[in-house]
Amino acid sequence: MKLVIACVAVLFLASALAKPGKKKKPSIADSFIEAGFVELLNISAPTTMLQVTFNDGEIEMNMGNYIRPDLAVDPEIGGCEEESERYMTFMYGDANYDNADPEENPECIRTLLLGLKVNVKDLCDPESGDVLAKTISHSPRPGSGEHAYFIYVLEQKEWIDASCLNYEEKRINFPVANFVAENNLCDPEAGNYYLTSYPDVEEVCEEICEEQNQENQYYKYKSKRN
């Protein structure tokens, strides 16, 4: 009898241990790793989520959400405290401009730089820091599929002399890892990213037509009231 009870207890313990627990929520760094940024950019993943919005706060970037290119205009960083004593680098880009397969065609991986500033003390102030490449809006090329656009903030170990640095004409194939190493930057501290693609012309036309129909209905109703 004691042997039977012991066997039942062992079986109960084994079944309890075999039950899957709650799935652990991936960290911010894990999200960047799973999205392929570490492999594409060849630098570490950020550990903190950066608050970023577009269009005067109307559109929020949220770790991989989809944002249409025409809505991803003028990124603004939020959640800033007082001006920091540290110097920061702001980097914005398309991690895989050609949308190449990193395993089959690693030599085809190119980063498109969409914005770069150094010596930033107040991330929420657009005028803070030295601009090496103006922040621009950009749409992926037709037929190139879905792209992942990132914004990273990296702490600088020292002030960077930006007088001879200009990447306005060097946006395509921007060497992220080399830039980080050459300027003695720390690993990315905070970041965020979103997905985007070349707009579906038919879908955009449908939206425009729907807006026009709503306007027409409004004016018809207004004219009847008058």
Walk me through the domains of the chain, giving residue ranges and CATH numbers.
Answer: 26-213 (3.90.280.10)
pLDDT reading at 226 higher than 80: no
- pLDDT (tens digit per residue) in 97-128: 999 999 999 999 999 999 999 999 998 888 89
Angle (CA) 89 92 94, round 5°: 145
**Rounded CA gap, 38 and 44, in Å?**
6
pLDDT reading at 209 higher than 50: yes
pLDDT band at 91 (very low <50, low <70, confident <90, very high): very high
pLDDT reading at 177 higher than 70: yes
Q: Of all helices (H) and strands (E), which one includes residue 147?
A: strand 146-156
Q: Of the ranges 34-43, 65-74, 194-203, 212-221, which one carries the lowest mean pLDDT score?
A: 212-221
3-state DSSP of 3-52: HHHHHHHHHHHHHHHHCCCCCCCCCHHHHHHHCCHHHHHCCCCCCEECCE
Closest CA to 57 of 79, 28, 32: 79
**Rounded CA gap, 118 and 156, in Å?**
8
**Rounded CA gap, 82 and 100, in Å?**
41
- CA 98 from centroid of its chain's CA atoms: 17
Mean pLDDT of 66-94: 90
Give the other-Cβ count within 10 Å of 141's Cβ: 13
pLDDT band at 152 (very low <50, low <70, confident <90, very high): very high
**Rounded CA gap, 62 and 68, in Å?**
13
**Rounded CA gap, 29 and 202, in Å?**
37
Asked if 183 and 156 count as a contact pair (C-beta separation under 8 A), the reply is yes
Asked if 129 and 68 count as a contact pair (C-beta separation under 8 A), the reply is no
Higher pLDDT pick, 13 / 169:
169
pTM of the model: 0.77
